[in-house]
Chains A and B, each alone.
Chain A
């Protein structure tokens, strides 16, 4: 492995930021249907801040949990509302989950995805079916755990993770929002993909291509 784990994790965040940037307008459009049309902008702001803050880390010294904790702080300060605390908590829980890991292997990746999903769930006090980002993250975490247990290859692992997240995000189309702003439009949220779930897929796809290729 040419790069250390912290560097790979920082590249992952750069990949996420690039992907979110590319999908920014699309995400805001999705949000316009059921919210205030700022989800793309919000996510973009958050990950640009993360990227900037990570650039300040000494990657020869930093541990992967430092990378996650830094991302948490940066995201929270850049983004208010509810997306801020949700992702900040996700990154913070991931930092705790990888505190004793040195390798960014599939087990660590599964732990990160799982910690992020459960962090969001605890912070948002939500569950599957609420038409939120949890509808992408929780299936992704399950898929990661299953793929790991079945000793799948890195390709298989990431394929399963992304496919589950996509299926989960698509399923939000037939759900009614109860959480956050979208809850205000109740039945009008039907037929629309939840923008938070859609951005989760963008993030997980970027994680997959970044972490899988570098392995």
Chain B
């Protein structure tokens, strides 16, 4: 290759044009000045000026070499995809909302909690934005606190940090006082508090407080703030705002009813960012939204999907001009505001996985009429298991145990959608459930068959409903319970919530019920069969639920019989830890790992919650989601047993196989029931059902 291009480029005009390039390249460079220039620049880290000297060419020529090298593909500049995505989102957010700056942390970094990463990013922004002599107002919250924890001292002077609101109960660790103090300490600023409660009893009291000389002085400092750092609270059911003690529940409901979607510095805003008025307005001591909006630099730091509506509202209302968030949240905000085309831009990167020509869109299944699968299955079930179950009033949607219900015994009714076989009908029989209500695929039965079950199961001592915690099931079973009560049948309910991956421990009641149902049904059935009272049956079933821990891992999706298509997708090399039995999202989607590593991840999660000590006993259930064979289940069991043995926890009993499936999903779950003496006794109590027999 010759070097004629360099002198013909417009970038190569000027001095270099007078030099014959071929003379300027010593032999030792080979005949390729491009590669050499690139080597010096990218590998040796020389500047373009240094390279020009070394090569004896002009700086402009070096510049054109480097540009040409990229065009010719000699150099490929690649950005780490996650960082590229976050940059794209940041640019789009900045443009769309007219922000002066935006920092987006990548989402797919599971190494550190989101709050931490937002804190680091917030600290970076402070470092860049805060100048000597600034007055920085600081609001409160977990994320703001995290900024304080990560902020570092800078060579700045005369800075003041001022609390943006009054104070709150110190029952949590990110109060306005602590947040302001933490940031002041970190950046070496003077700290000015607002020495009044954030919410006071009455408007009159607030006025009296604001007239106090000390508060006048503090508010004067606040009014001088030229920058503010704040978090944004969601008002969604699980958000910390409900537990932080900042607002009382009654007032929150008032604001929710008035359309509030978020809280900025203790003030409520609606979806368009307009202030929402309510009972706390004239009782709140702190910065007003108007004053906040007049501050020059308004840094909001917040992330997490649940905050998307609140963040969007704050952006629309103009309360933010510097946003620090994470990529997924940023993407969500843009999508919620109708920004399109972002996905296309982000997916311009070449995809690794190409669809092979042999790719199938339909899954093969044994079917007659896809709309009749449930009826046909139930017809088969009733024929196959006539020793244990029979239809109630001829209906296959309500099945009763042949020798289950009897006078004086609490009746146990279970049920749910189909597609989970042998759940739930496989556990109906003497010593276990008395009746089961059967819904459509992944869909709750209506109240009517549930009521029929309650009537059939009733022995005059009340009926216990035990089923998985899903919205549809809860509504239908609750209606059935009301109707049964009208018929004079006393009903108690225990929702199973054993899927520890479905929600954090703080939201334990929001968790889903999955394969651990098996243990919980068994305990409940035994308690009923032993003739315990309704209270006692309910209590021990609740205990079993609290001591059952399940985590599932999905490798491949399942396909609905009606469509014979996958109802979601999992990438070719991926797995999803924590996926629910209807394909609900889990905790993490990651590259598939060796079986022992997967088992360890699951057991680590279980050990985190199960307070078992050396010598304790457990029951283990290794459950296939449908398509995973026993061979693999035993491999999982092997490692579970090793992990338990290492803690000197004894396996009292184990079950390995198909116990609570998800059609033809590939995957498995591990359930551990942490036994005590009472549960051990009930676990071994005899039962006779199609899928569990204990003598």
Contact = CB atoms under 8 A, between A and B. Distances in A.
A152 interface: no
A174 B479 CA distance: 31
B237 A184 contact: no
A191 B336 contact: yes
B377 interface: no
A80 B585 contact: no
Interface string B255-282: 0110101000000000100000000000
B585 A184 contact: yes
Interface in B302-349: 305-306, 308-309, 312, 328, 331-332, 335-338
Contacts of A82: 444, 471-472, 475-476
Interface stretch (A52-60, A101-109, A122-130, A207-215): A122-130
Nearest to A132: B471
A215 B256 CA distance: 34
Nearest to B439: A80
A191 B336 CA distance: 5
B119 interface: no
Contact of B447 (A85, A86, A191): A85
A82 to B, nearest CB: 4
Given A129-B236, A178-B237, A184 B584 contact: yes
A77 B584 contact: no
A84 interface: yes
B309 A124 contact: no
B582 interface: yes
A169 to B, nearest CB: 13
Contacts of B235: 129
A187 B271 contact: no
Contacts of A142: 257
Interface in A18-54: 36
A85 B256 contact: no
A178 B234 CA distance: 13
Which of B259, B445, B475, B582 has the most chain A CB atoms inside 10 A of its CB? Answer: B475
B479 A190 contact: no
A81 B448 CA distance: 13
A80 to B, nearest CB: 4
A50 to B, nearest CB: 15
B588 to A, nearest CB: 14
A84 B585 CA distance: 25
Contacts of A128: 256-257, 259
Interface string A139-175: 0001000000000000000000000000000010111
Interface string A94-131: 00000000000000000000000000000110011110
A89 interface: yes
Contacts of A79: 446
Which of A77, A81, A123, A179 has the most chain B CB atoms inside 10 A of its CB? Answer: A81
Which of A76, A77, A85, A127 has the most chain B CB atoms inside 10 A of its CB? Answer: A85
A190 B332 contact: yes
Nearest to B312: A174
B409 to A, nearest CB: 29
A124 B471 contact: yes
Given A85-B447, A174-B308, A179-B471, A123 B478 contact: yes
Contact of B271 (A88, A174, A180): A174
Interface string A58-90: 000000000000000000110111101110110
B197 interface: no
Contacts of A81: 439-440, 443-444, 472
Contacts of A203: none
A187 B332 contact: yes
Contact of A77 (B443, B446, B471, B583): B446
Contacts of B308: 174, 176, 187, 190
B338 A187 contact: no
A41 B336 CA distance: 27
A151 to B, nearest CB: 23
Contacts of A184: 580, 582-585
B475 A85 contact: yes
A187 B479 contact: no
Contacts of A187: 305, 308, 328, 331-332, 335
A129 to B, nearest CB: 6
Interface string B389-429: 00000000000000000000000000000000000000000
Given A124-B475, A191-B336, A84 B446 contact: yes
Nearest to B580: A184
B558 to A, nearest CB: 13
A79 B446 CA distance: 7
B478 A77 contact: no
A123 B336 contact: no
A191 B256 contact: no
A173 B584 CA distance: 21
Given A128-B259, A174-B312, A180 B237 contact: no
Given A138-B257, A184-B585, A190-B308, 14 more contacts: A76-B446, A79-B446, A81-B439, A85-B447, A85-B479, A123-B475, A173-B338, A174-B312, A175-B336, A176-B308, A178-B237, A186-B585, A187-B308, A191-B335
22 contacts: A76-B446, A76-B448, A77-B448, A80-B443, A81-B472, A84-B476, A85-B476, A85-B479, A86-B475, A124-B471, A128-B256, A129-B235, A142-B257, A171-B271, A174-B308, A175-B309, A175-B336, A176-B309, A184-B582, A190-B308, A190-B335, A190-B336
Interface of B: 235-237, 256-257, 259, 261, 271, 305-306, 308-309, 312, 328, 331-332, 335-338, 439-440, 443-448, 471-472, 475-476, 478-479, 567, 580, 582-585
